Amino acid sequence: MFLANTMTEFILNTNDFESILVNKAQGSWIWDVKGKKYLDCTSGVWCLLIGHNHPKLIKTIKSQIDNLIHTNNRFLSPITLEAAERVLNFIPGNFDKITFLNSGSEAVEFSINLAKKITGRVDVLSLKDSYYGSYGTSKSLSYTSGKESKMKLQYRKCNSEECNCIEDLIPILDELLLAESIQPACFVLEPIMVSGGIHKPCKKYVEEVCNRIKNAGGLIISNEVTTGLGRSGKPFGFQHYNITPDIIVLGKGLGAGYPVSAIITRSELASKIPAEQKYYAQSHQLDPLGSAIANTVVRIIEEDEIIERSQEIISILEEFFGNLRHPSIKEIRQYGMIIGIQIQPYSSKNSSQLILEIKNRLLEEGIMIGLSLGKDLLRLLPPLNMSVEEVDFLKRKLTKVFDNLSP
Amino acid sequence: MFLANTMTEFILNTNDFESILVNKAQGSWIWDVKGKKYLDCTSGVWCLLIGHNHPKLIKTIKSQIDNLIHTNNRFLSPITLEAAERVLNFIPGNFDKITFLNSGSEAVEFSINLAKKITGRVDVLSLKDSYYGSYGTSKSLSYTSGKESKMKLQYRKCNSEECNCIEDLIPILDELLLAESIQPACFVLEPIMVSGGIHKPCKKYVEEVCNRIKNAGGLIISNEVTTGLGRSGKPFGFQHYNITPDIIVLGKGLGAGYPVSAIITRSELASKIPAEQKYYAQSHQLDPLGSAIANTVVRIIEEDEIIERSQEIISILEEFFGNLRHPSIKEIRQYGMIIGIQIQPYSSKNSSQLILEIKNRLLEEGIMIGLSLGKDLLRLLPPLNMSVEEVDFLKRKLTKVFDNLSP
């Protein structure tokens, strides 16, 4: 019946597709249709903190779909209330209001609108290199918009006590807030810029920006779509800083492959919004299946001690990447289970050629990794619960591929 | 463990939640936690063309999640290619390119960007009262944006051959295109405005607008998120008009409760986009689970002859609603399985009071329907495969509730 001449004959080419077709996965591994298996060091699209097809999650999905997948958004389900309470309990601080949507982009968009409604203001600030989403305000705030804006604050990647970024950069923010009378609705922070190149902004600068924004009456939104639930080595990315967000956005890992995101805030803030302005319409908000999945993912993270156990794997990887040397490697940046290998020209090859060669050789060796040609970056975001044996496999293959890079 | 004091203690109140908690569904029916069952005449959020938990769909989901839920967006899965071909085969006309995303809003947003890239233009036209999404351009085009714009064209609901809307309204469009030199990237059509009040724009006017836009070099996008796959009595909403869209957007019914949407176009158009502009990032685009679900939903619609068989139910409902009279009913509008009961003040009660009373009485009688207080509307979008017995139940209960409306 199906007669496509080429694999992607009918697929709009929104990506550079590999020629490998995949059809099975378990834990950290994914199989192609020929039966070859690959260590999935991208966690899908960074979503699989608990790996592919966790048995407890599969059990939840099978049971939930026998009962209830989807309802009208006027009708709640007990599993949605349970998920709400479980996710809120998991988050440090006094957060007591949550809603569930589908995508991370959408949840960032919603959180910014929430901040605007709570403060009655429209100005939104962020840091350069951040990524928030594929459309709307989320996109305009992101480095992918391709547009410069003074609302995208400069930052430094220094992270040393001696850094003078406070002296250099805070006056620029003060200028915005005072001289230009910018009235911030919110400052949206991506605690570690993952899509934008794997950068961590200077701790004391982020803290000072948050102070300034709060003093000016704005809210702090932490975009934890990628960093949330343990990805960065701590339960939440904002915990790398001494800050208290007002709104937290979760996505990706919360669904472990199913599209569910969440917006979390405090009732004292939510209560400032007039009732008629709270309304939001989306086909799958608060859906029983998405709720059941979010509930089980957080339960798995707790019961399996996913974040605690990942510390050993993170340490092994830190030791390995701290010692990995090759003339094609300019720098390696690691924040928990977020790893970027910055590539530089080597021998006769430019960075893009090297990145594609390394990616392809690793695929041959049974390793899937991510890449950004625009950022000269190889990117690894493996499942948090990968085993020591799987890390050994990864280390061996990476060493082999770099050792054998043809000049 | 879970101790919420009130049902929605931890839920951000984005909707007017009912006090009923639901936890089970099958076919056209949904059960609350007390065991009472309701005929779901909202199809969830208009998503369940094939009803809740169709056995073939449940079987597909259980089998797919044992294999593969989610992958990196550089790796395709055979089930995604199968779904692509099946959905394309189902659509009349020579469409041969598709991609899958999550939400309808997102897919409309993507389709508009596609049109802009294909045409190299930025102007987007639509009709008043349309609905496209909750954020970004989709929202700004929608009646929910609350903003008037000359790009939201006036239209009439006349639908008679004698209507003079061509003479009255087309000159306004010509003025835009010629005198104001608007260069349309696209005209986005919601074939029947469902959220905006259940209105069908005049056939000959829509056809003339499409002609004008095409002649001016713009594309026609049909937003079939709600009307697609049989909801309006025809397979696609655009088939109510003698027009050929360039891009079709599907959502809602395609996933039968799972968040999957699709954008469909032709390769001759897609090939006009420079490769580097095609890139799109979303966590769940082309995911195996969403693809498997879309594939099975379309297979069910074909195998179970869902659209063909719904014609009998539509006729029964047309006869019933054509004869339903009550002083509180101003007008009933039905387009296939999209039904709106326009309420007007009656006795001492205003429309909102009546709508809430009717909705509550129907709930007591075991019927869930939709409502829009802003539009003075009761809304019914039942599953397409509801049975004659279920329609009889609905007719009996509606008659009883209207007969017993207290003055």
**A47: which chain B residues are within 8 Å (Cβ-Cβ)?**
70, 283
Average confidence score pLDDT of chain A: 94
Distance from CA of A46 to the nearest CA of B (A): 8
For A39-50, b/e burial (b = at least 16 CB within 10 A) is: bbbbbbbbbbbb
For the stretch A304-362, pLDDT in tens is 999 999 999 999 999 999 999 999 999 999 999 999 999 999 999 999 999 999 999 99
pLDDT at B291: 98
Inter-chain touch B102–A102, beta carbons under 8 Å: yes
Which has more confidence, A164 or B100? B100
pLDDT at A4: 53
Using the predicted structure, report yes or no on whether residue A1 has a pLDDT greater than 70: no
Q: Where are the domains of chain A?
A: 55-303, 307-403
pLDDT at A87: 98
Using the predicted structure, report yes or no on whether residue A8 has a pLDDT greater than 90: no
For the stretch B274-325, pLDDT in tens is 877 777 778 999 999 999 999 999 999 999 999 999 999 999 999 999 999 9
Using the predicted structure, report yes or no on whether residue A2 has a pLDDT greater than 70: no
Choose among B47, B109, B275: nearest Cβ to A135: B109
CA B254/CA B294 separation, integer angstroms? 5
A136 touches chain B (CB under 8 A): yes
Cβ contact B71:B223 at 8 Å: no
A33 touches chain B (CB under 8 A): yes
- Residues making up chain A, counted from first to last: 407
**B12: which chain A residues are within 8 Å (Cβ-Cβ)?**
97-99, 263, 265, 270, 278
Inter-chain touch B12–A88, beta carbons under 8 Å: no
**B67: which chain A residues are within 8 Å (Cβ-Cβ)?**
23-25
Write the ipTM: 0.96
pLDDT at B123: 95
Choose among A18, A21, A72: nearest Cβ to B44: A72
A111 touches chain B (CB under 8 A): no
Inter-chain touch A283–B96, beta carbons under 8 Å: no
Using the predicted structure, report yes or no on whether residue B1 has a pLDDT greater than 60: no
Using the predicted structure, report yes or no on whether residue B3 has a pLDDT greater than 80: no
Residue of B nearest to A67 (CA): B24
Percent of chain A past pLDDT 90, that is, above it, reads 85
For the stretch B170-179, pLDDT in tens is 999 999 999 8
CATH topology of domain A307-403: Aspartate Aminotransferase, domain 1 (3.90.1150)
For the stretch A369-389, pLDDT in tens is 999 999 999 999 999 999 999
Choose among B18, B62, B289: nearest Cβ to A75: B18
A309-to-A122, A230, A233, A250, B235 alpha-carbon distances in Å: 42, 11, 10, 21, 52
Burial bucket for residue B17 (CB in 10 Å: 0-12, 13-18, 19+): middle
Distance from CA of B355 to the nearest CA of A (A): 15
pLDDT at A5: 57
pLDDT at A144: 85
CATH topology of domain A55-303: Aspartate Aminotransferase; domain 2 (3.40.640)
* Closest of B221, B225, B300 to residue B259, by C-alpha: B225
For the stretch A234-265, pLDDT in tens is 999 999 999 999 999 999 999 999 999 999 99
Percent of chain A past pLDDT 70, that is, above it, reads 98
* Closest of B357, B389, B388, B385 to residue B371, by C-alpha: B357
Inter-chain touch B97–A135, beta carbons under 8 Å: no
> What amino acid is encoded at B200 in this protein?
K
pLDDT at A369: 98
- For domain B22-50+306-403, the CATH superfamily is Aspartate Aminotransferase, domain 1 (3.90.1150.10)
Average confidence score pLDDT of chain B: 94
SS3 A234: coil
Choose among B47, B84, B287: nearest Cβ to A11: B84
CB pairs below 8 Å between A and B: how many? 317
* Closest of B251, B240, B229 to residue B385, by C-alpha: B229
For the stretch A116-155, pLDDT in tens is 999 999 999 999 999 888 888 888 888 888 888 899 999 9
pLDDT at A276: 74
pLDDT at B5: 57
Residue of A nearest to B51 (CA): A70
Distance from CA of B212 to the nearest CA of A (A): 28
Inter-chain touch A282–B105, beta carbons under 8 Å: yes
Interface of B with A in 171-190 (CB under 8 A): none
Using the predicted structure, report yes or no on whether residue A3 has a pLDDT greater than 60: no
For the stretch B248-273, pLDDT in tens is 999 999 999 999 999 999 999 999 98
Using the predicted structure, report yes or no on whether residue B4 has a pLDDT greater than 70: no
Answer yes or no: pTM beyond 0.95: yes
Distance from CA of B171 to the nearest CA of A (A): 32
* Closest of B128, B189, B132 to residue B157, by C-alpha: B128
Q: A14, A33, A63, A108: which to substitute to probe chain B, counting the most B Cβ within 10 Å? A: A14
- pLDDT band of residue B139 (cuts 50, 70, 90) is confident
A81 touches chain B (CB under 8 A): yes
